[in-house]
Amino acid sequence: MKAVILISGRGSNMEALLKADIPVEFAVVISNRPDARGLETARSLGVATAVVDHRGHADRKAFDAALAAEIDRHAPDLIILAGFMRVLTADFVRRYQGRMINIHPALLPAFPGLDTHARVLAAGVRVHGCTVHFVTPEVDVGPIIIQAAIPVLADDDEASLAARVLEQEHRVYVQAVRWFAEGRLTLRADGSVAVAGVARQVTALISPPPDAR
């Protein structure tokens, strides 16, 4: 299976994917920013890179057309958004419907959008996490593939919470891409995602934990 990764910055999720043992050929890493740190990381790992600078296009539609042309040049089976900080047009999303995925640092559908860690702390939420989902024209509402949850600790600040969520992002994004590559994901008619061969889970995360008495 061939995949393309889109980034805008340091690309830590990209790096986790490139270093993982999964049956995927990563054809290219594309950034909308020529100064994205992740480009050098990708090159150091032997992966080709390209830049489609959004600042060189008149509007979002023109940028998306140029980005699509670069993606299609590699004929990927999967497009992976890994910290790609651009809102894509509906036409672009529909072009890759069912084969473009994203990771979001919150337990969707809760806390879509930006500044999720600060908003979680302000709301007093006890459990936080991340979500890998298929991309749809409406931002952060696509069919959910996998989520990871962590407790929000009493002494957490935005930085500590973000760091612990990021550890889980690296785990679940690799898992989601592996499932896609193995053909184990099915988009159901009701908008949910079925994953073939997943064992039934009986554990629960409770935060704060109840007293053991």
The residues carrying an active-site annotation are: 104
Q: How far is CA 172 from the centre of its chain?
A: 9
Tell me the C-alpha distance between 213 and 168, whole Å. 31
Long-range contacts of 197-206 (CB under 8 A, 24+ apart): 205/127, 205/149, 205/150, 205/151
Q: Enter the DSSP assignment of 138.
A: S
Compute CA distances 181 → 46, 82, 108, 174, 212, whole Å: 20, 17, 23, 11, 42
Residue 159 has φ and ψ, to the nearest 5°, of: -65, -45
The residue to which tokens 């090159």 are assigned: 43
- Rounded distance, CA 17 to CA 97, Å? 21
Number of helices and strands (H, E) in the chain? Answer: 6, 9
